[in-house]
Amino acid sequence: MLGAQHPGAGLLLVGVDGSAASGAAALWALRRAQALGHEVTLVHCVPEDWATRDRAQAAEMMEASRGLLRSEAARAKNLAPSVTVNTALHRGEAADVLSALSPGADLVVIGTDRAGSTHGEDAGVVSLQIATLSRSPVAVIPVVSLRGRSGVVVGVDGSIESAAAITFAAAEAARLGQDLLAVYAGATTGRQGQDLLTDTATTIRQDHPDLVVRLQSPAPNVQVPRSTSAELVHAARNSRLLVVGSRGRDAVKRVQIGTVGYEVLQQIQCPTVVVRMTEQSVE
């Protein structure tokens, strides 16, 4: 068996704010929940500083937030009638609220206004923060069409974080009926990387014997090779899903997501899942 098991708590937390990005995240989450029989909770966050405003103005803003949640819930039920949809209104920043709620979730799903090179300097900041702080896997969904996309891509470097990502990616590929592309994302090149990919494919096939697993190692004799993150993003540019691993720690430490995960989310081209590993998972 590979590392951590595929999440199974049956709850998807979705951050919503009425934007196109959160709409894309909600739709992606609803499709997943419908396929797996999971519940969805739509979470909207109200900044703490609203409480310091004029009472009438604050009350008006809170009612507007409740109205947004009602509208999002109605849209969700229309898109996926069989899915149980709950709503939750919280005070605080989205990154703090969703990370605090994340231990009880199968997956946290958030949208991002980044999409390849078409973004501004501050685009995608909240999604990066949530992916950094969450204690459960995080799916970051860009506003891109999924039509014509195929395959699941996962980064492989031999680490325990990578093993968790492989487990998640293999289960997703099998569930979706898609091929799995394992991309070597380690620091060394040559035979060692190819051997690691071969061993990875063998292990995956033990759990998913019918899954088509393809391997991609760095091209030899390339004078200016892509960075690891660029290699993953390029490999996944037309894929249904990209999965990367990231080691989490005690939430108080607020450890960064990791260079590769951070850069992948900055260049995001397709739905991307960051699979967290807590210190308890590796003890």
Which among 105, 99, 154 is positioned nearest to 129, based on CA atoms? 99
- pTM attached to this predicted model: 0.87
Model confidence pLDDT, tens digit, residues 47-94: 877 656 677 877 888 899 999 999 999 999 999 999 999 999 999 999
| Residue whose structure tokens are 């009438």 | 56
- Contact present, 156 and 184 (Cβ < 8 Å): yes
Top CATH class, 1-143 = alpha beta
For the chain, the structural domain boundaries read 1-143, 145-283
- Contact present, 109 and 25 (Cβ < 8 Å): yes
H helix runs in 134-210, sequence order: 160-176, 191-207
Top CATH class, 145-283 = alpha beta
Model confidence pLDDT, tens digit, residues 156-206: 998 888 999 999 999 999 999 999 999 998 777 678 888 999 999 999 999
